[in-house]
Amino acid sequence: MAKIKITQVKSVIDRSERQKKTMQALGLTKINQSVEVEATAAIIGMVRKVNHLIAIESL
């Protein structure tokens, strides 16, 4: 599987509880925090739900 780097660029304040939990599930808790994850179908689905809060880079 390919790896992707996900960086939080916007705050989760005033976002729905579902989006907050999705960000936590991705491992993001602070702005400018980055994580490298495998690009599985589940991860891609989570990324699509919060794509307005994150930046994505392919590795």
Reported as a single tens digit per residue, the pLDDT across 4-58 is 999 999 999 999 999 999 999 999 999 999 999 999 999 999 999 999 999 999 9
List the domain boundaries for the chain.
3-58
Q: Which fold has domain 3-58?
A: Ribosomal Protein L30; Chain: A, (3.30.1390)
- Cβ contacts of residue 41 below 8 Å, gap of 6+? none
pLDDT value at residue 1: 79
- Cβ contacts of residue 1 below 8 Å, gap of 6+? 38, 39, 40
pLDDT value at residue 48: 97
User: Could you tell me the pTM of the whole model?
Assistant: 0.92
